[in-house]
Structure 1
Amino acid sequence: MNPYQSTIRNFCVISHIDHGKTTLTDRFLESTHTHSESKFKERLLDSNPIEQERGITIKLAPVRLVYPLESKIYHLNLIDTPGHVDFSYEVSRSLAACEGAILLVDAAQGIQAQTMANANLAFENHLELIPVINKIDLPNLNLDNISRQMQDTFGFTKKEILFVSAKTGQHVIQLIEAVINRLPPPPGDDQAPLQALVFNSFYHPHHGVIAYVRIINGQINHRQSLKFFSNQTIFKPLNLGYFAPALKPVDSLTCGEVGFIATGLKDISLCRMGDTIVASDDIAVKALAGYHEPQPVVYMDFYPLENNDFIKLKTSLEKFRLTDSSIVYSPVSSSVLGSGFKIGFQGLLHAEIV
């Protein structure tokens, strides 16, 4: 492991809905001066207008934090995650890019259903967990009781559990330093053949498909010819970089880093969640393990207002699925409504948001 790689920490924050994940990540940004306090806006990582309106996280959002400790500069890649059960697929994608996670519990509510579900996902992915009790600024709390809950449920020791207030910033610096001291750096070999895991993507009108990647092995430079392993599509990056939280271009990404690749591809179906990006001339490298396909629980039929808008609806669904691969759809036909699509969602809230 090279010296730079040893300073990287890839982690996420997982919890039940409304237990303070996004407030905590916003406080991380403020505490590490990733976003100046004078320009600080609550719920910074929730950039989607629907997220701002509803006060929930829907899409995973990465950001790199830089923090000095004991004469070293550490690079912390934080991925914010949803707490609502309908968006658990987003959580599973976040975990695939991480080595550790902060398990956040509300000091007033204690352990809830989605706390358990997300913790089990983290255990299945063999992540190192830091248990944290949030909202300690609230009155009339029984912190010892919540601490015992976490010890009994997950097997943590009393010393492992941290107490913070994301709202006031109390003990947030200690939590950042715990991430550095308690979570492992990413494994991998920067001299090995390139393997980059695609864990998210979106479509940019000028740069085409933007792939969110975690470099598992090897490294990428912006002049390198690459390909998607699953379909052997070759492309040369228009740009690459990391999240600050805006897209920050750099010349290269190395083993362990989380970043983005502007592929220039206009066909959105070519970028698949869980795919592996490799060097275009490498025929021996193997694909990484991808994600499990999501299983929809709610289905709805959608039809265009005008029959000749069917192709527009299909194109819109293809573009939308690039940023939300948890939806599935197939053509349907009605003698009354014409041609449309049956769309599967992860739940009613998921369907309402879409």
Structure 2
Amino acid sequence: MKEEFIRNFCIVAHIDHGKSTLADRFLEETHIIGKGTEVSQILDSMDLEREKGITIKSHAVRMVHNYQGQDYVLNLIDTPGHVDFSYEVSRALASCEGAILLVDASQGIEAQTMSNLYLALDNNLEILPVINKIDLPKADIEGTENDLCEILGCLPEEIIKVSAKTGEGVKDLLDAIVTRLPAPKGNPDTAPRALIFDSYFDMYRGVVVLVRVFEGKLQKGDKIKLFSTAREYEIEEIGYLGLKFSPQTELTCGEAGYIIANIKEVADARVGDTITLSKGGCENPLPGFREPKPMVYSSIFPINGEDYENLVESIAKLKLNDASLIYEKESSAALGYGFRCGFLGMLHLEIVKERLLREYNIPIMATTPSVRFLIKLKSGEELQINNPVDFPDPSTIESIMEPFMDTEIIVPTDYIGNVLKLVQERRGIQKDIQYIDEKRVTLHYELPLIEIIFDFYDKLKTVSRGYASLDYTFKDYRETDVVKVDILINGEKVDAMSFICHQDKAYNWGKSVTETLAEVIPKHLFKIALQAAIGGKIIARSTINPLRKDVLAKCYGGDVSRKRKLLEKQKEGKKKMKEIGSVSVPQEAFLAVLKADRE
């Protein structure tokens, strides 16, 4: 196919603005699926994606659209919408020449829409503004149109209005993709360069690599090289991406497709890497590749100890499909054997837990999430800590640095006071406030990541009645005053409940955890002390009073000294029991710690 008849584009949108539904209408309009197909969100292959209304993995599909008697190939490279997957979004954008900026008419422009728009502009993409959900009764088409005109500097007539649900305006949008988005440019006769924008593991065929060819051509049987690992493979199959694979003999300059080359692990075919020929290939890779770095760390343990062997096997299989998940074995005195894992963000952690339960039937429990701290000791040694268990003795520490994030919050002006109060409570540093229009405002803050990962998003939605939207990216590491808080039950440390937090919040967080535990740990025959401690200093305490056995029930009279004697005997017994007795901590207690309020 000649380059002038190819269009590579993606859809940029916030979560739940109708991106996957619009993709369904494209597939119907180009006759890839029949109208009224039972499964909606065709490109969202996981049940989890459909339930949560998010795209987790980026997908791609090749469509053919006839415009004025000429067939055009449209390669839709779908992108995840959530902040945790922004690197995948950036690589998908790098594979395109144009982007549809999709905005929900009932919700307007939100934080991640803006964030992904900036990513698209950074990649010099042609932007095609589209307003979706125009069929909804509460759709504010005019207001959304004004916002888009102001942000993009476009004219109202350049904005296309569609309803992805009913299909209204979709054909006009496909025509606009052909007429307004540029064709790919590249030299078909030079050494090939192809960008990996996604890869996944197939049980029978190994790793399937999705690529966009920028220069030259790749053919079946070619020996290829991947730049980041310098490993070489032979192309066994190459072709186009329909809903099913369509094998071809070659992929030429400007085209998007798939390659199967007997690659054993997804980690060997990393998103953003460049493919070329092993002999006579290009010298420089395409720019923008970086290793996905985990931001949030948590330990996961099987709820049933006998599931551990299954968990070992399942997490290895999950890793085949998810190169950004990192893990290592760990053991805990309270929870047994498990894994310490690194995740891109809290949503990534939730998805991994959910997939382990659904796909491998293993219910798991995650410990309190943490982030990576850089610690410099007085001896000059530097450590990277993400697990409270590894936190060194405070007397040996010279300085600690924690990650800060550039945070953008878009919120209606009615709730600005509530949001400002919340962000200040979370140690936020205000950078600026910009009014988008008379109804909405953008707040730019620098926030510590440890303050975002617990319940910041939930609290933000609560104080803004669901209208605020959040986006954040890593900024830098800064010196901080954090401490490790240990939780002691009856004088014994429970390593799985330890957490790291800022010194100013240690009392509130510690008190919240001990009070929560006091509600879920059942009463014993002796008094149980629940304590939060920094080093040897107790900073908060809650007490579970003992169950009281009535030892005087058998006394029907007699001298008071007889009753006192029985009570003294009981007191001695309880004192002895407290010394030798062990507290049984139920599974719910560990889950309750995660839900403890961290104000």
Common fold, TM-score beyond 0.5? Answer: yes
Map 1:305-320 → 2, pairs under 5 A: 305=305, 312=313, 315-316=316-317, 318-320=319-321
Structure 1 CA distance for aligned equivalents of residues 21 and 194 of structure 2: 30
Contact 1:24/1:167 (CA < 8 Å) preserved in 2?
yes
8 Å Cα contact 1:202/1:211 also seen in 2: yes
SS at match of 2:196: strand
**How many residues in Structure 1 have an aligned counterpart in Structure 2?**
349
Tell me the equivalent position of 1:113: 111
Partners of 2:311 and 2:39 in 1: CA distance: 40
Alignment of 1:281-300 (within 5 A): 281-282=279-280, 285-300=283-298
Contact 1:207 1:238 in 2 (8 A): no
Higher mean C-alpha displacement, 82-91 vs 162-171 = 82-91
Contact 1:101–1:127 (Cα < 8 Å) also in 2: yes
C-alpha separation between the residues in 2 aligned to 1:308 and 1:19?
41
Aligned to 1:29: 27
Instruction: State the Cα distance separating 1:150 from its structure 2 match.
Output: 1.1
Measure the CA separation in 1 of the matches of 2:235 and 2:53.
Answer: 35
The CA deviation at 1:286 is 1.8
2:110 and 2:50 map into 1 onto residues whose CA distance is 23
Query: Alignment identity in percent?
Result: 45
C-alpha distance in 2 between matches for 1:164 and 1:133:
6
TM, length-normalised to structure 2: 0.55
1:149 to 127, 139, 147: 147
Instruction: Look up the equivalent residue of 1:300 and give its one-letter code.
Output: S
Letter of the structure 1 residue corresponding to residue 26 of structure 2: F
How far 1:278 moved relative to its partner? 1.0
Written as runs of structure 1 = structure 2, the 5 A alignment for 1:252-267 is 252-267=250-265
Matches within 5 A, 1:15-94: 15-37=13-35, 39=37, 41-94=39-92
Which of 98, 111, 117 matches 1:100? 98
- Kept in 2, the 8 Å contact 1:30–1:40? The answer is no
Greater mean deviation of Cα atoms: 282-291 or 328-337 = 328-337
Give the C-alpha shift of residue 270 in structure 1: 2.0
From the CA coordinates, give the structure whose radius of gyration is larger: 2
* Contact 1:19–1:104 under 8 Å retained in 2: yes
In structure 2, distance between residues paired with 1:132 and 1:283: 40
Q: In the aligned structure 2, how far is the partner of 1:191 from the partner of 1:340?
A: 53
Kindly state the Cα deviation for residue 312 of structure 1 after the two structures are TM-superposed: 3.2
How does 1:331-346 map onto structure 2 within 5 Å?
Answer: 332=330, 334=332, 340-346=338-344
How many angstroms does 1:340 deviate by?
Answer: 4.6
In structure 1, the gaps of 5 or more residues are none
User: Do the aligned residues in 2 keep the contact of 1:212 with 1:258 (CA within 8 Å)?
Assistant: yes
Q: What amino acid is the match of 1:126?
A: N
The separation in 2 between residues aligned to 1:197 and 1:112, in whole angstroms, is 29
Cα drift, residue 343 of structure 1: 2.3
Q: Which residue pairs with 1:348 in the alignment?
A: 346
Contact 2:212 2:255 in 1 (8 A): yes
2: CA distance between counterparts of 1:119 and 1:284? 31
CA drift of 1:317 comes to 5.1
Q: Is the 8 A contact 1:193 1:285 kept in 2?
A: no
Task: Give the 3-state SS of the residue equivalent to 2:101 in structure 1.
Answer: strand
Instruction: Indicate how the Cα distance of structure 1 residues 284 and 22 shifts in structure 2: closer, same or farther if over 3 A, else same.
Output: closer
- Give the aligned partner of residue 195 of structure 2: 197
Q: CA deviation at 1:333?
A: 5.3
Q: RMSD between aligned alpha carbons?
A: 2.3
Tell me the secondary structure at the aligned position of residue 322 of structure 2: helix
Q: How does 1:238-249 map onto structure 2 within 5 Å?
A: 238-249=236-247
Which deviates more from structure 2 when the two are superposed, residues 222-231 or residues 250-259? 222-231
Q: C-alpha distance in 2, partners of 1:188/1:300?
A: 45
Conserved in 1, the CA contact under 8 Å of 2:192 and 2:282? no
User: Partner of 1:176: helix, strand, or coil?
Assistant: helix
Q: Structure 2: state its 5+ residue gaps.
A: 353-599
- Residues 206-225 of structure 1 mapped to structure 2, 5 A cutoff: 206-225=204-223
* Contact 1:310/1:339, CA 8 A, preserved across alignment: no
* Structure-1 separation of matches of 2:282 and 2:172: 44
Q: Give 2:248's aligned amino acid.
A: V
TM-score by length of 1: 0.91
Partners of 1:249 and 1:281 in 2: CA distance: 24
Per the TM alignment, residue 337 of structure 1 is displaced from its structure 2 partner at its CA by 5.2
Greater RCO, 1 or 2 (C-alpha within 8 Å, sep 6+): 1
Taking structure 1 as reference, are residues 282 and 113 closer, same or farther at Cα in structure 2, changes over 3 Å only? same
